Amino acid sequence: MKNNIIFLLFLSCNFSFAQVGGEQIYNFLNTPTSARQAALGGKVLTGLDDVNQGAWNPAMINQEMDNKLAVNYVNFLADINYGSVNFAHLFTRRFGTLHGGISFVDYGKLIGADEQGNETGTFHARDIAISIGYAKQIPWENFYFGANIKIINATIDNYTSYGITSDLALAYYKHDMPYRFTAIIRNIGYQITPFDEVREKLPLSIALGMSYQVEKIPLKWYLTVDNLQKWNISVANPSDAETDIEGVTTIKKITFLDNATRHFVVGAELFPEKSFNLRVGYNFRRAKELRLTEARTFAGFSLGFGLRMHNIKFNYAYTKYHPASNTSTFSLQINLNSKLR
């Protein structure tokens, strides 16, 4: 069974490309389920009009999210399915808005094996996190402070783990300004109940984000600098290896600039305030680690669109990983303040 646990932890790290792979548990916490976020590179942190943003950056929780419900689903790699449900409600203008959400991952049916490799049957594995968040404006300033608390449950066959985390964020914005800035520390927490007596680290992540609305052009730019808690996040790509005539293989060294760019994610949204939006994103780290030297894979690119019809908005994202593996993300956001037509 220990081999099964190791496999699941490895799998979890791989589908969460944004992590420093293989070093933490609950990596699904840093995997986007929002189609808008996925289309913009997977790391957008400054959205005010998307109720899904509150699950990632609590400092952006605001009264514009009042009574908005979002349901998200991702058809991921290797028959893995994950998704989330997010909701926000404005209690009073003085108190502010509370945000709640549930995210989950279903790894599907897996084949178990003993230490000799003999199959022992099948088992299931699932992760789930329940969160609640709140943001408050600092009096007489354009700064907003937000926090999330998340309760986590992870199950692998008969093994169960529980954990608790918190996100702390600070944002600076004004509604008539074209730019927004934010800083966030995600997943500060503790594994309350370990799988196998040894507690593991949670996927701590520190990031900076900004967005800019171009003047006189319906275009908004997004930039995120991620994984600031660890400078060296580079992993050598086997496709860059070279073998000489004597059969000696040399792995290409990763330069300072190459490692630095892997912290960046960029995105652009066309017609961000209209009923129909177009989006594109680029994740430098994903592109570097999944590219092939002999074929153009377009790894790192993502694109999508949004379509609003009265009180309902549908978002879709297509994320490019590899010629053999791409994902689709679907999001439906409903404004419960409006009457259905």
Mean pLDDT, rounded, for 25-42:
93
Measured in whole angstroms, the distance separating CA 239 from the mean position of its chain's CA atoms is 26
The secondary structure of residue 251, as a DSSP letter, is: P
Q: Fold for 2-335, please state it.
A: Porin (2.40.160)
pLDDT at res. 2: 41
Domain boundaries, given as residue ranges, for the chain: 2-335
Task: Provide the pLDDT confidence category of residue 243 given band limits of 50, 70 and 90.
Answer: low
Could you give the count of Cα atoms lying within 13 Å of 161 in the half-sphere of its Cβ? 23
Distances 14 to 178, 204, 287 between C-alpha atoms, Å? 36, 16, 14
pLDDT at res. 329: 95
pLDDT at res. 111: 82
Task: Provide the pLDDT confidence category of residue 246 given band limits of 50, 70 and 90.
Answer: low
Cα radius of gyration rounded to whole Å, the chain:
21
**C-alpha to C-alpha distance for 296 and 210, rounded to whole angstroms:** 30
Which of the two residues, 259 and 10, has the higher pLDDT score? Answer: 259
Is 184 in a helix, a strand, or coil? Answer: strand
Task: Provide the pLDDT confidence category of residue 339 given band limits of 50, 70 and 90.
Answer: low
116-151 pLDDT tens trace: 777 888 888 899 999 999 999 988 889 999 999 999
Mean pLDDT, rounded, for 188-216:
92
92-110 pLDDT tens trace: 888 889 999 999 999 888 8
Task: Provide the pLDDT confidence category of residue 6 given band limits of 50, 70 and 90.
Answer: very low
At 66, the amino acid letter reads D
- pTM here is 0.85
Distances 322 to 264, 265, 287 between C-alpha atoms, Å? 20, 18, 9
